Amino acid sequence: MISETPTSTTRDEPGSFRDPDNQVFYAEGAVLRGLGPQAAKDWSTVSGSSFLPPLLAAGKVIGTEPAAPQTLPATVTGRWTTVLRHDRIPFVSYPYEWSFAMLRDAARLHLEILQDALADGITMTDGSAYNLQWRGADPVFIDVGSFQPGTAGEPWAGYRQFCQTMLYPLMLQAHLGLDFQPFLRARIDGIESSQMRRMFGGARRWRAGVFKHVHLHDAMQARNAGASTGEVRDEIRDAGFSAELVQATVRAVARLVERLDWAPPRSHWVNYQQTCTYSDADRTAKTAFVDGELADRRPGTVFDLGANDGTYSRIAAAHADYVVAVESDPAVVDDLYRKLRAEREHRILPILMDLADPSPGGGWAGDERTSFLSRAKADSVLALAVIHHLAIGRNVPLPRILDWLTAMLPVGGGQGHLIIEFVHPDDPMARQLLANKPAGLFPDYQRAEFERLLAERYEITRREELPSGTRTLYAGVPRG
């Protein structure tokens, strides 16, 4: 993945080890891609093609340029034939953290790039959703190493990956109303055609794209299970498979992706600003508090945890370089993304994640896809109207919540910055949550205890009780 904090050491990207001829690593604060002999030869052809420059100029493919050998450590120049330097992605996210519309737009971009490449005699060896990232609401393709000159008679090499990590998840949500994120989070390679076939039996097999891309695809895989990849390719080539047929297939899949859509179910949280218990005076005071704090700090990156409809993410974006808006409701994230996309907002990235069950590490050795906490490095964290949901709603002790928040921030030197809201036990929302719990289960959920725990970890620079008298805002910096 293409995101890294500047460092003076060389470090391999843990999610880029599967192709020994094409790997991402970090050196001297730069995001680099090392290419071996064959990959370097392929890149020489690809970089001289006509399809790539417009995509680079439009930001649809990650900014890429040759790295001057004299700027690289000797261990790097001796290891690779060619080294490329990439632009940095502000925050790396994964497909199981995206909403339906986000995954569909990522799939659209992948297919658009593939069609442009095929028309210029270039193909893409991979079709994984992990090859796309985001700049705000704009998807960007990052795996330039998967481009290579096409070969006559070769099929679409990335088709299976595309199905497993993009097409099948979209079908699940569009046709069955099932959230795809748990499926992608559970298995790094995505959803197998055999799994899909069991879920799309009977009349479901006739839904858009299912029979061809699930049932026939699975049957073909079963028929060729004992054959080598080379044997299958020879068989396809001998059958007269052409470049025109590949392009027609990709166009057909692109039309299918356009047809797939999902209407989010009604959610209380979509209209939270209208249905929540805040008075106008509370909302005005809270907005002024957050705006003033961030205006003073001018942070680089802000994490808005429990972002809901993005109200405070937008305030943060007026003062920060980049905002990651984390929300657990799929309908809310999808609605927010669609609005940000319409506004061409490049500074706010919405991601879908349950704060009480944040994304863990996954893949090989548990770090091929790194955990949310290992990626979540912020200058400021907003935790507004979320602590009571974690502490009461999900039974997470207050000390553990505060420690988790602190782990996202730089400690010492007054660099990190937390804005946090404590909802008092007598607040209507807190009372509603407590009503569903055994009496006396949360004796420590009190304002005085929260302030004590907060003061142990932070120098509290500002506090303000909202006019309702049942919520208090705090700002502070982590103690060194």
Q: Show the tokens assigned to 99.
A: 């909403």
Same domain flag for 188 and 135: yes
In whole angstroms, give the CA distance from residue 270 to residue 308. Answer: 7
Decide which of 211, 233, 259 is a domain's last residue.
Answer: 259
- Distances in Å between the Cα of 256 and the Cα atoms of 136, 180, 200, 252, 383 are 26, 18, 17, 6, 40
Length of the chain: 480
Residue 2 lies in a domain: no
For residue 440, give the CATH number of its domain.
Answer: 3.40.50.150
How far apart are the C-alpha atoms of 338 and 344, rounded to whole Å?
10
Phi, psi (degrees; rounded to nearest 5) at 315: -60, -45
382: phi then psi, degrees, rounded to nearest 5: -105, 125
- Looking at the domain assignment, is residue 5 inside a domain? no
Residue 313 lies in a domain: yes
Residue with tokens 């959610």: 267
* Residue 408 and residue 434 share a domain: yes
How far apart CA 195 and CA 191 sit, in angstroms, is: 7
pLDDT of residue 210: 95
User: Which ranges in 177-216 belong to alpha helices (H)?
Assistant: 181-186, 193-199, 210
User: From CA 390, how far away is CA 420, in angstroms rounded?
Assistant: 13
Residues 436 and 399 in one domain: yes
> Looking at the domain assignment, is residue 286 inside a domain?
yes
How many CB atoms sit inside 10 A of residue 425's CB?
A: 16
Q: Are residues 351 and 429 in the same domain?
A: yes
Question: In the 8-state DSSP scheme, what is residue 120?
Answer: T
**Residue 235's pLDDT is what?**
60
Which H or E run contains 119?
Answer: helix 100-119
CA 475, 5, 319: angle at the middle one, nearest 5?
A: 40
pLDDT of residue 240: 60
Distance from CA of residue 68 to its chain's centroid? 31
Of 352, 359, 404, 341, give the one whose Cα is nearest residue 378: 404
Residues 276 and 254 in one domain: no
What's the mean pLDDT when you consider all of the chain? 91
Assigned token pair, 47: 């970089």
- Closest Cα to residue 114, out of 154, 48, 158? 158
Residue 257, CA distances (Å) to 131, 363, 409 in order: 18, 27, 39
Give the list of residues 6+ apart from residue 287 with CB closer than 8 angstroms, or none. Answer: 312, 315
Looking at the fold, whether 279 and 389 belong to one and the same domain comes out as: yes
Asked if 429 and 435 touch (Cβ cutoff 8 Å), the reply is no
**Does residue 212 sit within a domain?**
yes
Model-level pTM? 0.93
Ranges in the chain, pLDDT < 50: 1, 4-8
Which tokens hold the place of 139?
């998807």
Cα–Cα dist 278/421, whole Å: 13
Rg (CA), the chain: 25
Whole-angstrom Cα distance, residue 210 to residue 200? 7
3-state secondary structure of 375: helix
Tokens linked to 473:
């805002």
Shared-domain flag, residues 55 and 176: no
Chain segment 235-262, per-residue pLDDT in tens: 656 556 678 889 999 999 999 999 999 9
Residue 105 lies in a domain: no
Q: How far apart are CA 384 and CA 474, in angstroms?
A: 10
The answer on 331 and 462 residing in a single domain is yes
Domain that holds residue 314: 272-478
- Tell me how many domains the chain contains: 3
Q: 319 φ, ψ to 5°?
A: -125, -15
Last residue within a domain, chosen from 259, 294, 329: 259
Mark whether 366 and 460 lie in a shared domain: yes
Residue 135 counted as domain residue: yes
Give residue 5's pLDDT.
44
pLDDT in tens, 86-129: 999 999 999 999 999 999 999 999 999 999 999 999 999 999 99
Same domain, 234 and 255: yes
Boundary (domain end) residue, out of 208, 225, 259: 259
Element holding 141 (H helix, E strand): strand 138-141
Write out the two tokens for 351: 């991601």
User: Between the CA atoms of 306, 308, 311 and 317, what dihedral angle is there, to the nearest 10 degrees?
Assistant: 50
Q: Does residue 267 belong to any structural domain of this protein?
A: no
Residue 389 shares a structural domain with residue 411: yes
**Across-strand partners of 262?**
none
Beta-bridge mates of residue 350: 325
Residues 237, 295, single domain; the answer is: no
